[in-house]
Structure 1
Amino acid sequence: MLQLVYSPRWFYGKDIVIDIVSIVVLLCVAWFSLKYYRINKRNKNYLLLCFGFGLMALGFLFKIITNFTIYYYVLETRHLGFITLTYSVLRASNILFFVGFLMYRILMLIGLYILYSIYIKQSRISVAIMVYLITVLTYFSRNAYYVFHITSLMLLCAITWQYYVNFTKTRNLATKTLLFSFTIITLSQLLFVFVGLSQTLYVVAELIQLLGYLGLFLTLMRTLKDGKKKRKE
C-alpha cells in the first residue's frame, strides 16, 4: 500500500491546478527542445532535454490521475439465521492510486536523471542500469514517501549545481533565471521531505514548486526572445 500525504481539505483541487501548470510548462520546454534538436541534430542534448522534461510532464499527469478513484460493485452474502441475503455493495479500488503514484514517482525520477546525465556523460549501459535501479528503488520504497522526495532532492541538487557552473561561465540573464528556477524547485523538494510533519508544509511546498516552474517558463520565453534577436542580427 502506498503511503500518501494528503493536503489540507481547503487546498483540495488547488494542487491539481498547480500540477496542470507544471505540465504545461514542462511540455513547452520539451517541445521547443525537440524543435531545436530537429534544427541541429548533432546536439543530442536537446533530445535529452525533450525526453527528460517530457517524462516529468507525464509523471505529473499520473499524479493528477491519482485524484480519481475507481468504484465497482461486488455481491456480498450475509446469513441471518435461516435467511440468506445477497446484495450489491459499492467498493473503492486502490489500484488507480497505486499505479498513478508509482508511475508518477518513476517517471519523475527518470526524467530528472536524464537531465542530470546531460552534464555527466555515461554509457548507454550505465544509463539503463540507473533507470532499472530507480524503478526498483521506487517500487520497494513505495511505503516511504520521503525516499522519493530525498532521491528527487539529490538529483535536483546535482542539476542545480551544474546550472550554477554554467551561470558562472556565461553570467547572462537566461542562465541566471534558469538557476533561480531550479533552486526554487529544489527547495520545494526539501520541504516535501517533511510534509509528514505538517499539512501546511505541503501547501508551502506546492506554492514554491509553482513559483519554480513559472520561473522555468520565463526562462524559456527569455531564451526564445534572445534567439529571435540573434536571427535578426
Structure 2
Amino acid sequence: MVQVIYSPKWFYGGDIIIDLVSIFVLLSIALFSLRSYKIRKNRNYIYLAVSFIVLAGSFLFRILTNFTVYYNILETRDLGFVNLTYQTIKASDALFIVGFFVYRLLNLLGLYMLYSIYNKQPKSNIFLIVYLIFVSTTFNKLTYHVFHLTSFTLLALITRQYFKNYSKNRKKVTKFIGYSFGVVASSEIFFELVTVTTRFYVVAEIVQLIGYTLLLGAFFMVLRYGREKDKD
C-alpha cells in the first residue's frame, strides 16, 4: 500500500480545512484579476486569473487525495461488557498516486504560468519546461523533495521579478505582492523540513495560507487603486 502522511496525527484533517480556505483565496484572487482586466484592459490579468485557477484546482486534488489518506473507519463492536472502538486509516493506492500526481502537476504548471507572465518564453522552452515539470511530478522516492524544491525555485523567481518591477515603478503594491510571494516561497522550506519533524508540515500549511491571503489583500489594493484612478 502506498501511504505517505506528513501531517502529525493531531493535525489530521486540519490541512484539508486550510486547503479549502486556500482554494477560496486563490479563486478570489482570480476574480480580482478578472475585474482588474476589465478596468485596465491588460491581458496579463487574464493570465494571472488562469494561473490562480490552475493553482486552486491543484489544491482541490490535494484535498481529494488527503481524503483517501485520512479516510477514517469508526467501528464499534459490542463485546458484551466492553465496547471497543477503534480507528484505522486506509488509502487507495490508485487514488493516492493519481491525486498527488495531478496536484503536483497543476501546482507547478500554475506557478510556471505566473513566472512566464513577466518572463516570456519561446515555444521551444515552454515544451521543455512542461516536460521537466511532468518528470518532476512522477512518483518516486525523491518526488516530494524535488516537487517542493521546484516550487521554491519558481516562487523565488516570481518574487525576484516583482521586486525588479518595484525597482522600476516604485509602487508599494508591487513590493507588497513581492513580499507575499516571498512568504509563500518560505513555506516550501518548511515543507522540505518535515523529515526532521512533522510539526514543520503544520507550519508550512499555515505560512502558505498566510502568503496567499496577503496576495489576496494585494490584489484588492490593485483593484481599488484602479477604480480610484478611473475616478480621477
Report TM bin, short chain. Answer: 0.7 to 0.9
Q: TM-score, normalised to structure 1's length?
A: 0.83
Q: Percent identity?
A: 49
- Structure 2, unmatched stretches of 5+, are 72-89
**Between Structure 1 and Structure 2, which shows a larger proportion of helix residues?**
2
Name 1:64's counterpart in structure 2.
63
Q: CA offset at residue 218 of structure 1?
A: 0.8
Name 1:28's counterpart in structure 2.
28
Contact 1:188 1:208 in 2 (8 A): yes
Contact 2:156 2:185 in 1 (8 A): yes
The alignment status of 1:102 with 2:119, answered yes or no, reads: no
- CA deviations on 1:2-59 (whole Å, 9 max, x unpaired) are 6734211221222112111211121122233234446666x43222212211111100
Name 2:54's counterpart in structure 1.
55
For 1:172, give the aligned amino acid: K
- Give the distance between the partners of 1:109 and 1:188, measured in 2 at CA: 15
The alignment status of 1:133 with 2:132, answered yes or no, reads: yes
Q: CA offset at residue 125 of structure 1?
A: 3.5
Q: Structure 1 residues 49, 25: closer, same or farther in 2, change over 3 A?
A: same
Name 1:84's counterpart in structure 2.
none
Name 2:12's counterpart in structure 1.
12
Contact 1:3 1:145 in 2 (8 A): no
Contact 1:69 1:93 in 2 (8 A): yes
Name 2:195's counterpart in structure 1.
196
Name 2:79's counterpart in structure 1.
none
- Give the distance between the partners of 1:152 and 1:134, measured in 2 at CA: 10
Q: Structure 1 residues 49, 142: closer, same or farther in 2, change over 3 A?
A: farther
Name 1:172's counterpart in structure 2.
171
Q: Structure 1 residues 45, 3: closer, same or farther in 2, change over 3 A?
A: farther
- Give the distance between the partners of 1:143 and 1:95, measured in 2 at CA: 19
Name 2:85's counterpart in structure 1.
none
In our comparison, the structure showing a higher alpha carbon Rg is 1
Name 1:159's counterpart in structure 2.
158
- Structure 1, unmatched stretches of 5+, are 72-90
The range that moved more, 128-137 or 215-224, is: 128-137
Contact 1:2 1:142 in 2 (8 A): no
Q: CA offset at residue 140 of structure 1?
A: 4.9
Q: TM-score, normalised to structure 2's length?
A: 0.83
Q: 2:138 is paired with a residue of what secondary structure?
A: helix
- Give the distance between the partners of 1:116 and 1:92, measured in 2 at CA: 35
Contact 1:191 1:201 in 2 (8 A): yes
Contact 2:137 2:143 in 1 (8 A): no
- CA deviations on 1:43-79 (whole Å, 9 max, x unpaired) are 43222212211111100000000122399xxxxxxxx
- CA deviations on 1:150-187 (whole Å, 9 max, x unpaired) are 01011111111001111222333311221111111010
Contact 1:102 1:142 in 2 (8 A): no
Q: CA RMSD in A?
A: 2.3
Name 1:215's counterpart in structure 2.
214
The range that moved more, 61-70 or 114-123, is: 61-70
